[in-house]
Structure 1
Amino acid sequence: MDNATRSERSRNAALEAAIAIIARDGPGRLTLDAIARESGLSKGGVMHQFRTKEAVLKALLERQMAHFEEFSIRYMAKVSGTSANPNLATQLATIREAATSPNSAALALVAAMVENPDLMALPRELEMKRMAAIKEEAADPDLAMLRWAGALGLLLSSLFGMSPLSKDEHQRLFARLLDDAQWTGLGQPATTRTKSAAKSTAKSGTPSAAKAPTPRKRA
């Protein structure tokens, strides 16, 4: 085995150990010593790959983001010719994948958020680009964002142990979020719905205010 291959295996072993520690013990227990124990590498071997805990978190976050970016690319290729909202569909499916995958990118996100909020700039910039693409294709951008936010809420509530929903309920709700047919009737901008409602009211007329009673004259 050459040095490059050996180094890559050590790097991957350290990152897998980091995810295992975060999932089992929480991000607060992630240290270089803990990674060495979990992975079977020496402390020096871990430090050869990562000089600091922050470097581990950054590499872990980047690796998990790359993994789900590959998933997104494959899913986009599959739905681009059939979906009216391929960017939204891809994002919803990717969030669902993160929610159902063990040791998912969500663990890396939480660890980074807890230990160094500045690291969140990496996924935030990517999400801003994705959101712009979702709004661009949507007939009703607000509705598209609500569907995206609903999926993200399912992911985060499950991740933090706050969700009372069963696994089947989660999957059913994700399926509904992904199904454009469930949202077709709402698929128009809010301003258009408001104008339509106003036009309908004007056409039918509004009930006139009740006439105030006239005071009775004294005899």
Structure 2
Amino acid sequence: MPFLTDRVPKHRALRGGLVKWKPCHPLHEPTRRPGQPDRAGHCAAAPAAAPALNISMVDNTTRSERSRKAAIQAALAILARDGPGQLTFDAIARESGISKGGLMHQFPNKGAVLKALLEHQIEHFDRFTQGYLAAMGKDRPLANLSAQIATLRESITTPHSVAFAILPALVEEPELLAINRQMEAEAVKRIRAEATDPDLSLLRMEAAKGLALSALFGLSALSAQERDRLFERLLDDRQWPGSPEAKKPRTSRPAKKPASNAQNH
């Protein structure tokens, strides 16, 4: 059998489609159908198909995340406007425009809704705390204490606060606050580490928490202006003894010694 030369075409149109043969030696081999053996009896494999991108799966994930965010925003709006007693699946469906079946797919029960709301609020206030620290400077004395007090004040000025729904939820879902307790334990640890008087720092933080909770649950007799003034007092390190910026009392000048009468004698 004569050897093939360069005059032999590298591709040959065959019935069933073209398959490009990659030679394992300098000589060229003609194009062969899938499964057709060469002179050595080797068969050309069919070209592998590229994996298809499942566009529908990506779209479904995007729609699901969009629906979840819309449901959370609707629930926050209901809490702020109508109170926790009106937070139902029907109300969320009307507010968000999502079908009740779609909501049940995202949130199997009301506890799941409250858990999602709590996680949403934790993320919101964590971003506020980190932004406050960045603006103030983490190296400032008692920075973590100031950030906690400022965040508690922010919690009562935020229109959509999930705190209204926490108290009723504790009866049926007490484990919902496990994340909050862990975060507060970490905050207390940071505050103690930076303080020269840890007890005083914790007292200031708990006072701020009392101002916030009494306002959130409608138990405070203070006006918004009075409450804001007290928050400012809690934030002002200069007004608290033991803090690095506490006001130092003025020292009186020593009295002048009376002139000695010895000079008169």
| Pair in the same fold by TM > 0.5 | yes
Opposite residue 155 of structure 1, the aligned amino acid is A
C-alpha RMSD of the superposition: 2.1
Q: Which gives a bigger RCO, structure 1 or 2 (Cα 8 Å, sep 6+)? A: 1
Matched, 1:100 2:157: yes
Q: Summarize the Cα distance change of 1:123–1:166 in structure 2 as closer, same or farther, 3 Å threshold.
A: same
CA contact (8 A) 1:32 1:46 kept: yes
CA distance in 2, matches of 1:116, 1:168: 35
Indicate which of 142, 154, 161 corresponds to 1:85.
142
Indicate which of 82, 92, 97 corresponds to 1:35.
92
CA contact (8 A) 1:96 1:151 kept: yes
CA distance in 2, matches of 1:63, 1:114: 21
Partner of 1:7: 64
Distance apart, 1:45 and its partner CA = 1.3
CA contact (8 A) 2:145 2:205 kept: yes
CA deviation map 1:19-64 (0-9, x unaligned) = 2333344334322223212222111111121111111111111111
CA contact (8 A) 2:79 2:164 kept: yes
Q: Residue 84 of structure 1: SS of its match in structure 2?
A: coil
Q: Please identify runs of 4+ aligned residues in structure 1 that moved more than 6 A.
A: none
CA deviation map 1:147-200 (0-9, x unaligned) = 1011111111111111111111111111111111111x2449xxxxxxxxxxxx
- Structure 2 residues not aligned, in runs of 5+: 1-57, 245-265
Normalising by the residue count of structure 2, what TM-score does the alignment of the two structures yield? 0.65
Q: Summarize the Cα distance change of 1:9–1:107 in structure 2 as closer, same or farther, 3 Å threshold.
A: farther
Opposite residue 129 of structure 1, the aligned amino acid is E
Q: Residue 90 of structure 2: SS of its match in structure 1?
A: helix
Indicate which of 115, 124, 129 corresponds to 1:67.
124
CA distance in 1, matches of 2:168, 2:69: 18
Opposite residue 15 of structure 1, the aligned amino acid is I
Opposite residue 130 of structure 2, the aligned amino acid is I
Q: Which has the higher helix share?
A: 1
Identity %: 56
Equivalent residues in 2 for 1:14-29 (5 A)?
Answer: 14-29=71-86
Normalising by the residue count of structure 1, what TM-score does the alignment of the two structures yield? 0.78
Partner of 1:206: none
Matched, 1:136 2:193: yes
Indicate which of 53, 67, 90 corresponds to 2:110.
53
Distance apart, 1:116 and its partner CA = 1.4
> Which structure is larger by alpha-carbon Rg, 1 or 2?
2
CA contact (8 A) 1:98 1:105 kept: no
CA contact (8 A) 2:129 2:147 kept: yes
Partner of 1:147: 204
Opposite residue 86 of structure 2, the aligned amino acid is R
CA distance in 2, matches of 1:17, 1:109: 17
CA distance in 2, matches of 1:16, 1:37: 12
CA contact (8 A) 1:22 1:29 kept: yes
| More off after superposition, 37-46 vs 135-144 | 37-46
Q: How many residues align?
A: 187
Partner of 2:216: 159
CA distance in 2, matches of 1:47, 1:179: 48
CA distance in 2, matches of 1:165, 1:46: 39
Opposite residue 96 of structure 1, the aligned amino acid is R
CA contact (8 A) 2:80 2:159 kept: no
